[in-house]
Amino acid sequence: MKYTLKRIALLLITMLLVSFLTFSAFDLVSGDPAQTKLGTEATPERLEALRHMWGLDQPFFTRYFRWLAGFFSGDLGVSYHYSKPVWELIASKVEVTLCMCLLSFLIIVVVSIPLGIGSYRLVGGPFDWLRTAFNQLCMAVPPFFTGMLVSYGFGIVLRFFVPGNVPDLHTQFGAAIRHLFFAAVCIAIPRIAMTIRMMRSTVISEMNKPYVRTAISRGNDRHAVLTRHVLKNSLVSTVTFLGQTMAEIVGGSIVVEQVFGIPGLGRFLVASIGYRDYPVVQTIVVILAFWVVAVGTLADLLNQRIDPRLRLGGRV
Amino acid sequence: MKKRKLNGYLLAGLLITGLLLLMTLYGAIHTPYSPTAYTGMKFEAPSAAHLFGTDKLGRDIFSRVLKGMGTTLSIALATVAIGAVVGTAVGAVTGYFGGLVDDALMRLNDTLTAFPSILLALLVISLLGPENKYNLILALGIVFIPSFARVTRTAFASLRDVNYITSARLMGAGNLRILLVHLLPNTGRVLFPALTIGFNNAVLAEASMSFLRITPLETSLGYMLSEAQGMFAAAPWYALSTGSVIALLVFGVGLIGEGLQQRDKEA
C-alpha cells in the first residue's frame, strides 16, 4: 500500500514536470499570438481584447494552473487557428487514438508472449539464425511502409476498409475497430519482434540459474520447468518491457495515422505544428505523454503484485 | 588484444551496410540522371534505362533514391553524433561523480523518456521552427541524448571503484585523465551496441519526420515515401524501392549490432 501511494505520487510529480516543461517551452517561443493572428495593422484595443479572450493578459503561473486544471474541467483554451475551444476539437480524436493504441497493445501481448516462449525451443537449433534474421527484419521495416502496403492491399485491392474513411466509433463500433485493427497491426509488428527478442534472452538467462538446474536434476521435465517456474520469473521483466512499449506505440500511431488517414491525435498534432497552433500542440503533447507515463506506472504496480520483493524497494 | 572472429550476423550486416554506403557515396558524386529533372515517360516500369522506374513527373527513381540515401544517412549520422557525444559526456559526469547533479539530471532524463521519441522530436522542432534542416538535426539529436546518457552512466558508475581506477588515482591521475584515458575505452562494450541501435532509431526517426513533411526535405527517403504513397497504384515501384532501402539500411546495421552482441557473449 505504501509502495502504491509512493508510486502514484511519483506519477503525479512526473506529470506535473512534463506539463510544466511543455507549457513553459511553448510560452517561451509563442511570442505574442494575438499580434500574429491580427497582423501588424491591428489596433491596440483589438489586440487587448483578443489577449484578454485568450487569457494572455494573466501572469504565467495563473495561466499554467488554469490550463492544467483544464485537463479535468475540459477548458484547455482556444485554438489560435480554428478559434474554437481546444477540447471541442480534440475530444473525438482522443478516443480514436487511444482505441488504436490499446488495440495495438493487445495484439502485441497476445502474439509475442506465446512466440517469445516458443522461440526458446529454437535456441541452439539449426534454424535459430533464420529466426534471428527474420526478427531483425521485422524490426527494420518501418510501420509507415508496412502501413502503405497494408492500406493498398487490404484497403484498395481487397476492400476490407476504405482508407481515409474511419467509421464513427459510437455508431459503428465494429466497423471502426476493424479499420483501426489494420493500422494497429502495422504499429505492432516491429514491437512484437522486439518483445520476442527480449523474452528470449530473459528466458535463456533464467534457464541458466541454479533453481532450474535443481529442478531438472530432480527429474523434472524441461518443458514443465519452463512453463511452471521460468515463465513466472520472466514475467517481471516482460511486464516492464510491455509498459515501455506504450511509448513506442504512441510514437508509431502518429505516423501510421498519417498513412491510413485516421483522424486521431497524431494527425491533428502534425497539422497543428504546421499552423503553429500552440494551444493545440501543447495539449496533445501532454495528453500523449500522460498516457505513456500512466501505463508505465501501471506496469510497475502490476509488477509488485507479481513479485512481492519489489514492494520492499528491492531490485530483482 | 586477441583477434576476435567475425560471425555470420556481423559479416552479413557489414556486407549489406557496406554495399549501401558505397551506393550512397556513388550517389554523392554521380547519379545516372538528375534526381529532380524530367528524364523520360512518366510512370515507367523498372528497366535497364531506369533501374527503379520513373515517377509521376518522369523523374528517375534510382537517382532519387541514391540522393535520398545521402540525405537520410547524413542526417542520421549527425543526429547520432550529437546524441552520443553529449549523452556520453552527461553519462560520464553523472556516473563518475554521482551526487546531486546525478540525481537532478537523472530525474530530468526520466521525464524526457516519458515522451515517445517522435513526440519529443515533434515538440522540439515545433519550438525551434520546422523550416530548416539543421533544426531537424538538432531536434533529433536532443531526442537521442537521454538514452545514451543512461547507458553510459551505468557503465561509468560500475567502473568507478574498480582497482585499476583506484590505482590510477593513487598514481596522481586527474579526474579528466581517468575519464578519458581509463574509463572511456572500457565503455566500448556497451557503447558500440548502443551506437548501432541509436543509428537505426535515427534513420527511422528521420524517415518518419520527413514522411510527416514537418521539414521540407525533398530529397529524403521519408519524404519520397510519402510522395510515393500518392502514386502507389500507378507506380508501386517507387514506394517499394524507397521503403526497401530504408528497411535494408536498418536491417544491415541491426545485424551488425546483433553480431557484436553475439561476439561479446562468446568472448
Give the three-state DSSP class for A85: strand
What's the CA angle centered on B210, arms B208 and B216, to 5 degrees?
Answer: 165
Which positions ≥6 away from A9 have C-beta within 8 Å? none
Measured CA to CA in angstroms, residue B194 lies from B15, B187, B188, B213 at distances of 20, 11, 9, 28
Distance of CA A103 to the CA centre of its chain: 11
Q: In terms of CA atoms, which chain A residue is nearest residue B226? A: A259
Helices then strands (H, E): number in chain B? 10, 0
DSSP string for residues in A180-207: HHHHHHHHHHHHHHHHHHHHHHHHHHHH
Q: Which of A116-120, A283-287, B168-172, B205-209 has the lowest mean pLDDT?
A: A116-120
User: Does the pLDDT at position A315 exceed 50?
Assistant: no
Output the pLDDT for position A313. Answer: 59
Distance of CA A252 to the CA centre of its chain: 8
How far is Cα B74 from Cα B52, in angstroms, rounded to an integer?
23
Any idea which residue has 511519483 for its cell? A10
How far is Cα A115 from Cα A200, in angstroms, rounded to an integer?
9
User: Does the pLDDT at position A98 exceed 50?
Assistant: yes
Cell of B69: 540515401
Cβ neighbours of A31 (radius 10 Å) = 11
Q: Which of A4-8, B64-68, B69-73 has the lowest mean pLDDT?
A: A4-8
DSSP string for residues in B155-202: HHHHHTTSHHHHHHHHTT--HHHIIIIIIGGGGHHHHHHHHHHHHHHH
pLDDT in tens, A134-166: 999 999 999 999 999 998 888 888 888 887 778
Please count the residues of chain B: 267
Mean pLDDT of B102-112: 81
Task: Decide if B116 and A250 are in contact by the 8 Å CB cutoff.
Answer: yes
Contact list in A for residue B231 (CB cut-off 8 A) is none
Which positions ≥6 away from A61 have C-beta within 8 Å? none
pLDDT in tens, A210-233: 999 999 899 888 888 888 888 888
Any idea which residue has 474513411 for its cell? A165
Which pLDDT band, with edges at 50, 70 and 90, does B5 fall under?
low
Cell of A287: 495528453
> A220-240: b or e for each residue (b if 16 or more CB lie within 10 Å)?
eeeeebbeebbbebbbbbbbb
Interface-testing mutation among B212, B261, B262, with chain A (most A C-beta atoms within 10 A): B212
What is the overall mean pLDDT for chain A? 87
pLDDT in tens, B248-263: 999 999 999 988 888 8
What is the overall mean pLDDT for chain B? 87
Mean pLDDT of B21-47: 84
Check CB contact of A259 with chain B, cutoff 8 Å: yes
Q: What are phi and psi of A180, to 5 degrees?
A: -70, -25
Check CB contact of B68 with chain A, cutoff 8 Å: no
Give the three-state DSSP class for A78: strand
> B116-142: b or e for each residue (b if 16 or more CB lie within 10 Å)?
bbbbbbbbbbbbbebeebebbbbbbbb
CB A33, CB A80: distance < 8 Å: yes
User: Does the pLDDT at position A316 exceed 60?
Assistant: no
Give the three-state DSSP class for B60: strand
Contact list in B for residue A281 (CB cut-off 8 A) is 123, 126
pLDDT in tens, A289-313: 999 989 988 998 898 888 888 777 5
Output the pLDDT for position B4. Answer: 60
Which pLDDT band, with edges at 50, 70 and 90, does A17 fall under?
confident
Which residues sit opposite B60 in a β-bridge? Answer: B54
Check CB contact of B114 with chain A, cutoff 8 Å: yes
CB B144, CB B90: distance < 8 Å: no
Task: Decide if B119 and A250 are in contact by the 8 Å CB cutoff.
Answer: yes
How far is Cα B131 from Cα B217, in angstroms, rounded to an integer?
9
Contact list in A for residue B11 (CB cut-off 8 A) is none
Q: Which residue has the higher pLDDT, A113 or A314?
A: A113
Check CB contact of A274 with chain B, cutoff 8 Å: yes
Give the three-state DSSP class for A279: helix
User: Does the pLDDT at position B2 exceed 60?
Assistant: no
Percent of chain B past pLDDT 90, that is, above it, reads 31
For A281, the closest of B126, B243, B250 (CB atoms) is: B126
pLDDT in tens, A27-51: 888 777 777 777 777 788 888 888 8
pLDDT in tens, B214-249: 877 778 899 999 888 888 888 888 999 999 999 999
Interface-testing mutation among B229, B258, B263, with chain A (most A C-beta atoms within 10 A): B229
Cβ neighbours of A61 (radius 10 Å) = 9
Distance of CA B67 to the CA centre of its chain: 17
Task: Decide if A22 and B232 are in contact by the 8 Å CB cutoff.
Answer: no
How far is Cα A172 from Cα A116, in angstroms, rounded to an integer?
35
pLDDT in tens, B125-175: 888 887 788 889 999 999 999 989 988 888 888 888 888 888 888 888 888
How far is Cα A149 from Cα A159, in angstroms, rounded to an integer?
13
Mean pLDDT of A257-265: 92
Output the pLDDT for position A109. Answer: 94
Which positions ≥6 away from A211 have C-beta within 8 Å? A229
Give the three-state DSSP class for B71: helix
Any idea which residue has 527480449 for its cell? A198
User: Does the pLDDT at position B12 exceed 90?
Assistant: yes
Interface-testing mutation among A10, A22, A135, A144, with chain B (most B C-beta atoms within 10 A): A144
Give the three-state DSSP class for A315: coil
Burial of residue B265 (CB within 10 Å: 0-12, 13-18, 19+) is exposed
